[in-house]
Amino acid sequence: MHPIFFTLFGFDVHFYSIFFTLGLAAGCLIFVFGDRRLRKDFREPLLDAYLYILIAIMIGAKLLYVFINMKSYIGHLDLMWSDFRRGFLFYGGLIGAVFAMILFFRKKDLPVWYFVDAAAPAIPLGHAIGRIGCLFAGCCYGSPTDLPWGIIYPASCPIAPSGVPLHPYPIYEMIGNLIIFAVIMSIRYKSKVPGRMMAVYLMGYGLLRFGLEYTRGDFVQTIGVFSEQQVISLVLFAVGLVGFFLLAKMKHRDLAEYPLPIRPQEIAKKPKRSI
C-alpha cells in the first residue's frame, strides 16, 4: 500500500485524507437528505448542525487519543498541535458528534431524537468509506494471520509491519459498517420511537468493534483481559441497549407539532389587509 496519492507544489495529498473527506461528504448527504421526514422542512438546521458536528468529531477524536496516550503528552503538550493531522480515535469523534447533536437541537428547540436518528445511517456509511483510507495508509492494521486473504504491506509503508501477512482489519470493519448501514436503512421507518435507530447503531457497532479487536494488531492497550477499545465497545452496547427500551417510555412530540420557519416568499404571498 502507498499512503500518498500525489504531490502538489511540494504538499503530499494522502489517500487517508481523500477517503476521510469522502466519508464526511457521504455522511453529510445521508444526514441531510436521507430521511424523507426531515429533508423537506428541516434541511437548513440539518446543514447548520453538520458544521458543529464536524468540529466536534475532530475535537473529540483528538482528545480521546491524547487521553489514552497521556504519558506521551505529559510535558510535551505542544505535540497536540504539531501532530494534529494524525492521532485520532473514532470513538472520541463519535462521542463528540452525539453530544454536539443533542446540544445543538435542544438549543434550537427542534426534534432532537428524530435528528439523532438521521445520523444513525450516516455514521457507519462515512466510517466505512474512511476505512479505505486506513487500508492505504497502513494504520489500524490487523494482527498476523495464516488465512489466505491476509495482506502484506510493503517495506515502504511507514506504519504497518511489512513482510508479514496481516488480517485486513480495515476491510473487516468496512464490511461490518456497510451491513449496519443497510440494516438501519431497511428498518428506519418501521420504528415508531424516535432515537431507536441510533440505539441500534450503538449496539451493532459495539458488538462489531468488540469482536474485531481480536484481529487488530496496532494500538493495543488493555484493561484486564480486554483492550481499551473493547471496554468502550461494551459501554457503547450497554448505552444502546438501555436507550432502546428507555426511549419508548419517554414522551416525544410529533414532527407536526414543531412550527416550520416562515420563509420570506411565504410572507410575500400573504394577502394585504384592507383598511
User: What pTM was computed for the model?
Assistant: 0.84
- How far is residue 12's CA from residue 31's CA, in Å, rounded to a whole number? 30
pLDDT score, position 2 = 67
Q: Can you state the percent helix, strand and coil of the chain, rounding each to 5?
A: 60, 5, 35
Whole-angstrom CA distances from 189 to 46, 62, 100, 118 are: 19, 34, 24, 11
β-partners of residue 227 are 222
pLDDT score, position 86 = 60
pLDDT at 5 over 70: no
> Residues 25-58: pLDDT tens digits?
999 899 988 888 888 888 888 888 888 888 898 8
β-partners of residue 173 are none
